[in-house]
């Protein structure tokens, strides 16, 4: 298949000042028919291939939607050493037992499609090496999905990872497409080691939507990755790891996006309630954690959380430059991002200097410009404006710092 034809990115002018939500067009909310077939997410061949293609050439399983194709490969069946997972503290890890279904802490057996414990992969092949997978007992729920903390082990090498248990192909497909096309936003994604089935066989998807058996998306644990002898992740006040969801009205799931990506419709009450909650911050992002009441409080004070984090950064000029790089990447990207988030990881070095590592996460509702969504340009503009808002907050933090220094 030939590559997707490129079209010029929509022009977006610099934006500053008080945040004003993007006005969503009626087309997104009233559409009742699926876009033409040519607008669907394209087969993998159009995006340059799977990140583990070199490791997958022999006996890989290729997923062509439903039903799944029968696996014909054999994988390395290695006993996992029972040692502490790197970067996960001193808790004991669960050693995988070859040939036995492995239950997943915090997960429901319903994900496995039966009443039996879900089998999880014991190995993954990266390049020419087979890595064993050690699971942490701290694994559990992450948002609406099961997310496993684990470590990939090969000899003396240890790689901390988070393994997302998927019942839909969407997020894995988004990583395939963005990495395969080397999209401008790909560098902000968590490092991806590919997607595998329960036997560790590499998977590739060509269609979004529900899948018949669980898939396992293996991502580097970016929080553990920044920990070292000279730096640590900060956890005090507003200075802690936070997930800031893009909350502009244009960047919330709409009917056309759900048709493109194969998501089912929910009740009007669900979307109305979601809109109310997403509007609580009065800005283009929301963050939340804790119980229901605490989540509402966190959403309402999202802007203060951003300011508190930015004010704690030592080199604010560097932060500003990094946000501008993110903005440029968002503008150059060939994808629109819906219901996605920015993960901010505050890091402190031995001298007490604080910086922020930024990652773009949760791209399950994203779609390529070829999907022909009528509001593609509107969504791109809203995403860029949202990052402009962050740039504004960073500039404000710099000015306040200068004023404070002058007064002393």
CATH topology of domain 231-407: D-amino Acid Aminotransferase; Chain A, domain 1 (3.30.470)
| pLDDT score of 80 more than 80 | no
What does the alpha-carbon distance between residue 28 and residue 250 come to, in Å, rounded to a whole number? 9
Question: How far apart are alpha carbons 124 and 194 in whole angstroms?
Answer: 9
Contact 244, 302 (CB under 8 A): yes
- Mean pLDDT of all residues in 291-306: 89
Average pLDDT, integer, range 272-301? 89
Tell me how long the chain is.
Answer: 408
Q: Is the pLDDT of residue 67 over 50?
A: no
Q: Check pLDDT > 60 for residue 32.
A: no
pLDDT exceeds cutoff 90 at 249: yes
The Cβ of residue 270 has, within 10 Å, a number of other Cβ atoms equal to: 10
Count other C-beta atoms under 10 Å from residue 289's C-beta. Answer: 13
Mean pLDDT of 216-224: 97
Mean pLDDT across the chain: 78
For the chain, the C-alpha Rg in angstroms (whole number) is 22
Percentage above 70 pLDDT, the chain: 69
Domain chopping of the chain, boundaries: 45-225, 231-407
Report the pLDDT value the prediction gives residue 117, as an integer from 0 to 100. Answer: 67
Share of the chain above pLDDT 90, in %: 63
pLDDT number for residue 318: 97
Question: Could you tell me the pLDDT band of residue 19, with boundaries at 50, 70 and 90?
Answer: low
| Dihedral in degrees, nearest 10, Cα atoms 160, 97, 57, 42 | -70
Residues pairing with 86 in the sheet: none
Among 60-69, 235-244, 288-297, the range scoring the smallest mean pLDDT is 60-69
Contact between 119 and 112 (Cβ < 8 Å): yes
- Per-residue pLDDT tens digits for 190-210: 999 999 999 999 999 999 999
* Least confident among 103-112, 172-181, 229-238: 103-112
> Which tokens hold the place of 404?
């404070």
User: Is pLDDT at 27 greater than 70 in this prediction?
Assistant: no
Q: How far apart are CA 233 and CA 226, in angstroms?
A: 7
By CB neighbour count within 10 A (0-12 exposed, 13-18 middle, 19+ buried), where does 269 fall? exposed
Q: Which of 100-109, 111-120, 169-178, 233-242 has the lowest mean pLDDT?
A: 100-109
Predicted model pTM: 0.74
Mean pLDDT, residues 86-108 taken together: 34
pLDDT value of residue 237: 87
Higher-confidence position of 132 and 14:
132
């Amino acid at each position: 298949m030939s590559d997707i034809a490129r079209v010029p990115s929509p022009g977006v002018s610099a934006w500053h000042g008080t945040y004003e939500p993007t006005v969503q067009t009626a087309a997104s909310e009233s559409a009742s028919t699926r876009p033409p077939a040519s607008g669907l997410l394209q087969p993998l061949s159009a995006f340059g291939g799977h990140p583990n293609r070199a490791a997958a050439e022999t006996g890989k399983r290729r997923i062509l939607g439903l039903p799944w194709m029968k696996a014909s490969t054999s994988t390395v069946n290695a006993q996992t050493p029972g040692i502490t997972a790197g970067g996960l503290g001193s808790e004991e890890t669960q050693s995988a037992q070859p040939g036995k279904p492995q239950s997943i802490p915090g997960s429901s057996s319903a994900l496995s499609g039966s009443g039996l414990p879900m089998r999880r992969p014991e190995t993954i092949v990266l390049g020419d090496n087979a890595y064993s997978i050690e699971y942490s007992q701290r694994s559990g729920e992450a948002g609406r999905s099961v997310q496993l903390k684990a470590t990939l082990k090969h000899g003396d090498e240890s790689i901390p990872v988070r393994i997302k248990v998927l019942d839909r192909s969407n997020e894995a497909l988004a990583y395939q497409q963005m990495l395969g096309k080397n999209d401008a936003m790909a560098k902000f994604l968590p490092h991806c080691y590919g997607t595998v089935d329960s036997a560790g066989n590499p998977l590739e998807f060509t269609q979004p939507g529900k899948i018949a058996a669980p898939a396992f998306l293996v991502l580097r644990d970016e929080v553990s990755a920044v920990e070292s002898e000279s730096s640590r992740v900060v956890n005090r006040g507003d200075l802690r790891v936070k997930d800031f969801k893009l909350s502009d009205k244009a960047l919330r799931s709409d009917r056309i996006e759900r048709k493109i990506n194969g998501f089912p419709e929910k009740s009007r009450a669900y979307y109305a309630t979601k809109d109310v909650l997403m509007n609580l911050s009065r800005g283009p992002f929301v963050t939340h954690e804790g119980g229901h009441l605490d989540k509402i409080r966190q959403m309402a004070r999202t802007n203060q959380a951003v300011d508190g984090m930015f004010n704690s950064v030592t080199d604010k000029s560097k932060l500003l430059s990094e946000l501008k790089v993110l903005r440029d990447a968002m503008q150059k990207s060939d994808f629109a991002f819906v219901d996605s988030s920015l993960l901010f990881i505050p890091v402190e070095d031995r001298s007490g200097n604080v910086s922020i590592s930024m990652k773009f996460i949760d791209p399950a509702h994203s779609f390529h410009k070829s999907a022909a969504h009528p509001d593609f340009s509107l969504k791109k503009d809203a995403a860029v404006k949202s990052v402009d808002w962050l740039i504004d907050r960073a500039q404000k933090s710099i000015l306040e710092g200068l004023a404070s220094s002058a007064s002393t």
